[in-house]
Structures are given as C-alpha cells and as structure tokens.
Amino acid sequence: MPRRSDAVVRRGLRHVGRAIAEQPGIFALALLGSSLYGGMTVASAYVIGGVTDRVILPAFDEGATTAAALTLAAVVILAVAVLKIVGILGRRLFAGIMSFRLQADYRRRVTGQYLRLPLSWHQRHPTGQLLSNANSDVESAWFFVSPLPFACGAVVMIGMTVVALLLTDPLLAVVGFVVFPLVFVLNAVYSRAMSPRMARAQQLRAEVSEIAHESFDAALVVKTLGREADETARFAARATELRDGLVAVGRLRGLFDPLMEALPSLGTLAVLLVGAERVVAGTTAAGELVSIAYLFTLLALPIRAIGWVLADLPRALAGFDRVTPVLEATGRTAHGPDPAPGGQRGAALGLRDVGFGYDGAARSILQGVTFEVAAGRTLAVVGPTGAGKSTLAGLLVRLVDPRTGEVLLDGVDLRRLREGEVSSEVAFVAQSTFLFDDTVRDNVTLGAPYDDEQVHAALRIAAAEDFVARLPAGLDTRVGERGASLSGGQRQRLALARAVVRRPRLLVLDDATSAVDPAVEARILDALRAADRPVTVVVVAYRQATIALADEVVWLADGRLVDRGSHAELLARVPGYAQLVRAYQPPEPDAPDRQPAEARA
C-alpha cells in the first residue's frame, strides 16, 4: 500500500489499539502479568540496593554478619523472583492467547468471506494469494501482539523508574528524562525508515515464491523444452533482488540494534557520573545509586520489547492491509426471498437475453443468449473451443450472475431465490472435477443425509461401484488431497455420482463425461430421465454420442446462440456444426467437409 511513511507510526498505534479493543479482557490479564513482572523487576533492583546497604556493607564494615540477615536477604531475593516468575507466566501465556485468538478470529473472518464472496471475485484473485491472505498475512497482522503486553509493561516500568528517580534525586531523574524519550524517538524513526524496506522485501518474497510455483508447475514444459537454465536465470534474478532487499533491511536493523543496546548502557554511566557527585554531596546514599544503576541495566530488555513491537508494526500493517480488502470486499452473492417452485418433475429452464463478461474485461464472453428448455427435456450445448460454453453452464447454476438478461428456473429469476434453493434443485458437474480430501462416501453425500444404499445406487449409475468396491476401505477410503489417489476417470465418475445421488430437477454437465464410456453416459442419463420424475438436463459436449442423447441442440459460437434445433436440423443448417460433429469422419477427398449439402446424405 503506497502510503506516506510518516503515517506509519500513527497507523501503527491505531493498529495496536485495534488489537486491544478486540481482546480487552485477555489483554488486561496479560498486562496485569506484565505489570507484576515490571514491578518485581524494579523491586529486585531495590532488593539488591537494600541488601547492599543493610547486609553487604555492614557485614564488610564490621567483618561479621548474622545468619538471620543472610537468610532474610536470600528469602527476599527468592520471593521477589517467584512473584516475577508468576508475572512472566501470566504475561507470556495471556499474550500468546491474545495473539493466537486474534489470528484464529481473523482466519475465520477471512475464510468466511471466501465462502460468501461470489465466484467472480475468486476468479480475480489467484489461489496462492488467497491462501497467504488467510495464513501468513493474518499471522503478520497480529504477530506483534505477543510482545505487546511486555512492551506495555515496560512502559509501566519506565513510569515507575521515573517516579523512583524523582523520589531518589531529581537531578538523577533528568538522566531518565533524556534517555527514555530518546528510546521512543529512535523507535519511531526506525519504524518509518524500515517500513518501505520491509514491504519491498515482503513483495520480493512473494515474487520469488510465484516464480517457483509457476516454474515447478510448468516442470514438464521446462524439462521437455530443455529450458532449465533460463528458468534458473529468471529465478536467480529475482532471488538476487530479494537478497539485496534483505541486506537493505539488515543494514538498517544492524544500525538500530546496537543503538538501542547502547542507550541503557550510556544511561547507566550517566547515572554513575551524576550519582557519584550527589553521593559526595551527601544527597544520595551509595545503595540508592546502586539501585538506580541496576534498574537501568534491568530495563535494557523491556525497552527492547518496545522496540520489538514498534519494529514489527510495519510488517503487521502490511499484512493487515492485504487482509483488509478481503474483509471489506462486497459484491457477495445477494439472495432473494423466494423459495424454489419445486415439484416432482424436472425444472423448466429459461434464458432471456443473457450476456456475460468479466469485470473490467472488454471481451464479452456471452451476448444476447435466449433459449428455453422444457421440464424433463435434454439440451446439448455445442460450440467450438472458446465459444463460452463453460461460462453458460456456470450461469445456469448461479456460479456467476449474468451482466445482462436473466436466468429463469421454473420462471423465477435465479437471483430472486433464497440461499440454498438453487443448489437443492440443480446439480452441476464441472469440466475439471474437484474432490475433497475426505472419504468416498463424504465426497458423494457432501454431508447430506443419504444412506449407504442411496450412495451405492448413485455409484452404480455412475459406473463407479466396481472400482469403489476394490478400494482398500470401500466407501470409507480417503481419496487424498484433490482425490490424488484416483485416476481422472475415477474422479469424474465420483463427481457424477455426487450429482446423481441428489436426484436434482436440473442437471448441468460441463463436458463432465469425457473420460467415461459413452454407454455409461447413456445409462446415467437414462436413469435420471426415466422413473417418476424425469430430470431436465443441459449437457456441454463434443462427442456425437452425447449429443445424440439430447432432444435438442443449441449451437454456440463467439458467445452468441447461432442456431437451435434437432441434431439433424443443425447438421443441415449450420456448416460449422456439421464440421465439428463430423470431424472424425474419414476425410473424403472429393467432398470437402465445408459443404453443407453433405449433411443431408
């Protein structure tokens, strides 16, 4: 996000406020722990001072000590330490819980959005980006919360130290008033300078990762064309840029770290300088000087914690800035108030002047498509590669909404139907099948209450029963990520069974039977269309056997519905159609297949 860098600190502090506002209770507990820790740290300095004044110095002066004095010293030191430990435990546990809660919470919100937002939104966002939004970006956004209570506790400690300084000696307090504000100023300057460098490094990391993803996915192409060296050069160029980016980050951090370390040391030395004069002047006791010096040493770590939070804020903001568009994305699929008309027969389908194009793209994919499919009829959608067939199929199940016109189910615009109505009436099998990393049964039922008998019946219709029976655990076999353990044809048949088991009133098959034998395909459609409630079917197909199963065919070319009719009619009327479906006829040298007359033969 290109924002002015001087706003980083302000935005960062607002982000801190957001974290606290989201988890106030846990933060309070963590702060309590941190304050206990802080108080005990200050106390331990005074214990050392007190022990110096009351036990050590007298003992050394007098050359003798008592067991009681020593025991007391030891007990006090240990008691303070135990309380400090309780403080640390509280601080760390609750800080951790706070950070993890925020992360879990935002992951739920982000993934909730993924499920709510329409498919058109998904199509605009690469998978890798969505995964990192839900994972690493959320983590970066709230990672700083872990040291936050520590840092807030450190602020408390600094406050206590200043008070202690004032009470001990106002002149010594001046040292504190110089050192502590300097800590904050340095941190602010650092954050501002670091922010753009960090963002750049993060951006380069993402780019390196993108190249690796793309190049490895393209492995076969890279290898078979022998382009490994070029790919490596492409990767190396970006990896080198990333290295330079990280070195730039390192340079700054390498400067900041020693500065932050030197400050408390120099503070301690200043205390010694001023304090020694005050001791000589008699206004301060030696023990008090030791306490203050010790306190400065102990403050070194908590002061770093402030630095950790501030230093991590640019990264947190960058992560949050990447998550925010997801959370704020609108354009979720709006659902209407109506129930689906329902019924026992297949659904009637109608398209009226439907047009579609991706947002911002000039190329319109569909234009003015109008047709109707009567209940229980089967329609084949045929057209050349890139004609818009898959887009049309997606419109019928409301994966996307048309830019113009309307899609009607039983006369009702899909957009007027309540959520869940379309999917309860319509089943869709996509060109590339998707299986969940789950059992065969769950992949068919998708959690709906179908019994094993129904699942088996669906598998039988989809010609999947035999191979499922041969799987090690039958219906309970896990299919692996994306169904990795199955072949393409097996995956396709499970996806078909998933549609069949639902007994939908409209079935949309987008070239979903390409890996299935034509006989099986015919059997599936027969089983669905026969019986008591013949289903309406829209099938996108190239195969003539599939087309032959349809009552009617629409010919789609360049996003327009060019013609519709029976297979024979289209063969006669549409040269492109004849060419396509008869492409596999043995070529006849004297009759070029462009001639429509041939179709009548």
Partner 1 sequence: MSRAEEPLLAADRRPEGAFATLRRGLRMMPEFRSGLPVTFLLALVATAGRVVVPVAVQQTLDRGLAGPGGPDLPLVRELVLGSALVVVLTGVAVHRMNVRLFRTTETALAGLRVRAFRHVHDLSVLHQQGQRRGSLVSRVTSDVDQLSVFMQWGGVLGLVSLGQLVVATVVMAVYSWQLTLLVLVCFLPLGVAVRFFARRLAHAYGIVRERVGDVLAAVGESVVGAPTVRAYGIRARTAARIDRAIDRHYRASVDAQKVTAGVYVSGELVAAIANAAVVVVGVLLGVGGQISAGTLVAFLFLVTLFVAPVQTASEVLNEAQNAIAGFRRVLDVLDTEPDVRDPAAGRSLPPGPLDVRFEHVGFSYVPGGRKALDDVDLTVPARTRVAIVGETGSGKTTFAKLVTRLMDPTEGRVLLGGVPLAEVAFASLRERVVMVPQDGFLFDASVADNVRYGRPGLTDDQVVAAFAELGLEAWVEGLPAGVATPVGQRGESLSAGERQLVAVARAYVADPDLLVLDEATSAVDPATEMRLASALDTLTDGRTTLTIAHRLSTAERADEVLVVDAGRVVQRGPHAALVDAPGPYARLHASWRRSSGRQPEPDPVG
Contacts of 390 (CB under 8 A, 6+ apart): 431, 510, 511, 540
Element (H, E) at 560: strand 560-565
For partner 1, the binding residue among 323, 550, 561, 574 (CB under 8 A) is 550
In the block, tokens 């087309």 appear at: 547
Closest CB 562 distance from partner 1, rounded Å: 14
Does residue number 514 form part of the binding site for partner 1 (CB under 8 A)?
yes
Does residue number 318 form part of the binding site for partner 1 (CB under 8 A)?
no
Contacts of 522 (CB under 8 A, 6+ apart): 545, 549
Q: Are strands 349-357 and 404-409 parallel, antiparallel or unpaired?
A: antiparallel
Element (H, E) at 434: none
- The residues in 524-543 that bind partner 1, with binding defined as CB under 8 A, are 525-526, 529-530, 534, 542-543
Does residue number 332 form part of the binding site for partner 1 (CB under 8 A)?
no
- The residues in 141-200 that bind partner 1, with binding defined as CB under 8 A, are none
Does residue number 57 form part of the binding site for partner 1 (CB under 8 A)?
yes
For partner 1, the binding residue among 1, 13, 119, 473 (CB under 8 A) is 119
Q: Which of 335, 306, 302 is nearest to 144 (CA)?
A: 306
CB of 14 or CB of 265, closer to partner 1: 265
For partner 1, the binding residue among 11, 84, 197, 491 (CB under 8 A) is 84
- The residues in 219-278 that bind partner 1, with binding defined as CB under 8 A, are 219-228, 230-232, 235-236, 239-240, 242-243, 246-247, 249-251, 253-255, 257-259, 261-262, 265-266, 268-270, 272-273, 276-277
Do 452 and 475 touch, CB atoms closer than 8 A?
yes
Does residue number 544 form part of the binding site for partner 1 (CB under 8 A)?
yes
Does residue number 446 form part of the binding site for partner 1 (CB under 8 A)?
yes
d(CA 200, CA 243): 11
Which of these ranges, 14-22, 106-114, 153-161, 463-471, lies near partner 1 under the rule CB under 8 A? 106-114
Q: Is 373 helix (H, G, I), strand (E, B) or coil?
A: strand
Does residue number 422 form part of the binding site for partner 1 (CB under 8 A)?
yes
In the block, tokens 């041939």 appear at: 598
35 burial level (CB within 10 Å; 0-12, 13-18, 19+): buried
SS (H, E, C) 455-508: HHHHHHHCCCHHHHHHCCCHHHCECCHHHCCCCHHHHHHHHHHHHHCCCCCEEE
For partner 1, the binding residue among 218, 327, 334, 531 (CB under 8 A) is 218
Tell me the number of residues near partner 1 by CB under 8 A: 179
Which of these ranges, 159-167, 324-332, 384-392, 404-412, lies near partner 1 under the rule CB under 8 A? 384-392
For partner 1, the binding residue among 205, 403, 441, 560 (CB under 8 A) is 205
Site string for partner 1, 272-301 (x = CB under 8 A): xx--xx-xx-----x---x--xx--xx--x
For partner 1, the binding residue among 340, 430, 497, 554 (CB under 8 A) is 430
Do 482 and 435 touch, CB atoms closer than 8 A?
yes
CB of 235 or CB of 371, closer to partner 1: 235
Does residue number 598 form part of the binding site for partner 1 (CB under 8 A)?
no
Does residue number 88 form part of the binding site for partner 1 (CB under 8 A)?
yes
| Phi and psi at residue 328, to the nearest 5° | -95, -5
Q: Are strands 552-557 and 560-565 parallel, antiparallel or unpaired?
A: antiparallel
Closest CB 144 distance from partner 1, rounded Å: 14
Closest CB 100 distance from partner 1, rounded Å: 4
Closest CB 487 distance from partner 1, rounded Å: 6
| Phi and psi at residue 537, to the nearest 5° | -125, 135
Alpha helix locations (H) across 52-118? Answer: 57-62, 67-116
